[in-house]
Every structure is written in C-alpha cells, then in structure tokens.
Amino acid sequence: MRDHLANERTLLAWLRTGLAFMAFGIAVEKFSVFLHFTILQSNAGEMEWNPLSARVLALTLILFGGVLCFAGAVRTSRWSRQAASLDGAPATWPLMSVALVTCLVSAMLMLHVMLSGF
C-alpha cells in the first residue's frame, strides 16, 4: 500500500508539472497579445512584432505539458501492472482518467491557441 500511495503522489506531481507548463503557455500567448497592442498604441514604427514566435512558444509549452501528463500516466500504468499481482492493490482507473482528462485539456488548449487570432 505504501508503494501505491507513493506512485499516486508521483503521478500527481507529473500532472501538476504538466498543468503548470500548460498554464505558462497560455500566459505567454495572452501576454503576447498585450505586447502586440502596446506596440501598436505606442506607434513605434521601428519595432517589429512577430506574433508567430509567441504562438509557437505557447504551443510548445502546452504540448510539453501534455506530454508530461501522458508520460506520467504511462509510468503509473506500467507500475500498476507490476503491482497488480500484489494482494490489495487498489484500482488505478481514477488516476488514469484524471491523466486522460489532463491530456484532453492540453489538446483543447493547443486548439485554442492555434485558432485564436488578433
């Protein structure tokens, strides 16, 4: 049971880190919109703005967060198959469903960033 609880904490740490990367990706994308409008209002003709680079960085961060969540789920499922032979090993489907939902959130965020425009 102690090993199972440690594995749950590890999966939750993977998910938490993945969500943090996704949130940072969204923040980069939203802050780039702020910078774009600030440059437009300052009427600085010398400053060039490339919103594509901020969007690519945001997509990369969101994708990395989704990959982290998926890697944590794979790692946990691998361990749960090994521990299934033990008596009293609890079910891992709730944790796997949370990991799946987190990966789906990553896909939706990526779609949002790709479709959002100025």
Q: What is the pLDDT of residues 33-55, one digit of tens each?
A: 777 666 666 665 555 666 677 88
Residue of 102, 93, 28 lying closest to 66 (CA atoms): 102
CA atoms within 13 A on the CB side of 67: 6
Q: Is the pTM of this model over 0.85?
A: no
Phi, then psi, of 84 in degrees rounded to 5: -65, -25
Residue 37 CA: distances (Å) to CA of 25, 32, 113: 19, 9, 17
pLDDT of residue 33: 72
pLDDT of residue 44: 55
| pLDDT averaged per 10 residues in sequence order, the chain, 118 residues | 77 90 89 71 61 82 91 83 65 77 88 76
pLDDT of residue 41: 64
Distance between CA atoms of residues 49 and 9, nearest Å: 43
